[in-house]
Amino acid sequence: MKKILAFALTVAFVAGLAGIALAEDTYDIVKKRGTLIVGTKDASPGFGYIDPKTRQIVGYDCDFAAYLAKKMGVKLELKGVTSAARIPQLQAGNIDLVIATLTWTAERAKQVDFSYTYFLTGQKFLVKKGTVKSLADLDGKKIGTAKGTTSEQNASKALPKATILSFDDYPQAFLALQQGKVVAVTTDESILAGILGKAPNKEQFEIADIRISDEPYGIAMRKDSPKMLKFVNDTLLEMEKNGEAKKIWDKWFNPKSDQPMERGKFKITADRK
Ligand code: GLU
């Protein structure tokens, strides 16, 4: 008995020294804890933003989080994260999932696992009405966006002569546009539509019809969690099949909403980008 114990302790010690991950699958961690902790945006209308009446974070991303928590039979806790904090917060173990307008990229997929695509959009520019017709109108100018995003990277590639000013989040970038400190705010069209939809002076702005990327959103989790990955993916396919995914889309982006967006041909399929 003593020998077995000594052996077990030695294995644990050596594994610890070697940094071998004896990590538990996030799925099991959540089940034991009884709460699913999801990182969402908290200033992106339509996806994750604070409802002024209830002070709760609400949106498309939050409704996916709620469905997942319900299906697991656990409570849901939403934590607001900035764009740049999404993956670091996940890796630090402070959140279980990122459901926060996070685009799948090959680079990010080296660090975390992504679910199938649950929303698809592309990067555009929010500008003062009538000021921008083509990319050429933007090059060499100051453009606002948020730190730690694909928007930042795509903008520097598409506009090599522009100065990209990265803010903590999009409301600050939009303020800079209103103050004339930048000529455009660039990020996913879906996010720009949300900012514009909530702006009191929306008639002064428009989203220019210039699209510089595809942005497929995935749910991200730590890599040591195959059970969680399968659960999330199976649930996403179930939500497509039972109509819940479309219902959530229509709830936030219907023609009468602040940010109408057509689902068109989009469907959740077994595809990661
Ligand atoms: N989808 C882009 C990204 O993942 C921008 C979204 C955001 O900043 O929330 O970086």
- Averages of pLDDT over each 10 residues, the chain, 273 residues: 58 52 88 98 97 97 98 98 98 97 98 98 97 95 98 97 97 97 98 96 96 98 97 98 98 95 95 73
Atom of ligand 1 nearest to the CA of 169: 8
Residue 248 has phi, psi (to 5 degrees) of -65, -40
Nearest partner of 59 among 70, 72, 74, 43, judged by Cα: 43
For a mutational test of ligand 1's pocket, the pick from 191, 192, 211, 273, i.e. the residue with the most ligand atoms closer than 8 A to its C-beta, is: 191
pLDDT at residue 2, as a whole number? 56
Give the chain's radius of gyration (CA, Å): 21
For a mutational test of ligand 1's pocket, the pick from 101, 121, 157, 166, i.e. the residue with the most ligand atoms closer than 8 A to its C-beta, is: 101
Contact 188, 56 (CB under 8 A): no
Torsion sign, CA atoms 157, 162, 165, 170? negative
How large is the angle between the packed helices 226-241 and 60-72, nearest 10 degrees?
110
Domains 24-118+218-253 and 122-215 share a fold: yes
Q: How far is CA 117 from the centre of its chain?
A: 11
Token pair, residue 56, equals 């709760």
Sheet containing 57-58, strands listed edge to edge, beginning at the edge strand earlier in sequence: 43-44, 48-50, 57-58
Task: Assign a CATH topology to domain 24-118+218-253.
Answer: D-Maltodextrin-Binding Protein; domain 2 (3.40.190)
pLDDT at residue 272, as a whole number? 76
Nearest partner of 257 among 266, 246, 249, judged by Cα: 249
pLDDT at residue 271, as a whole number? 80
Name the closest-CA residue to atom 10, ligand 1: 149
pTM score of the predicted model: 0.91
Name the closest-CA residue to atom 8, ligand 1: 83
What is the CA(84)–ligand 1 centre distance, in A? 9
CATH number of 122-215: 3.40.190.10
Domain boundaries, the chain: 24-118+218-253, 122-215
Q: Residues lining ligand 1, judged by CB closer than 6 Å?
A: 41, 44, 83, 101-103, 146, 149-151, 187-188, 191, 215
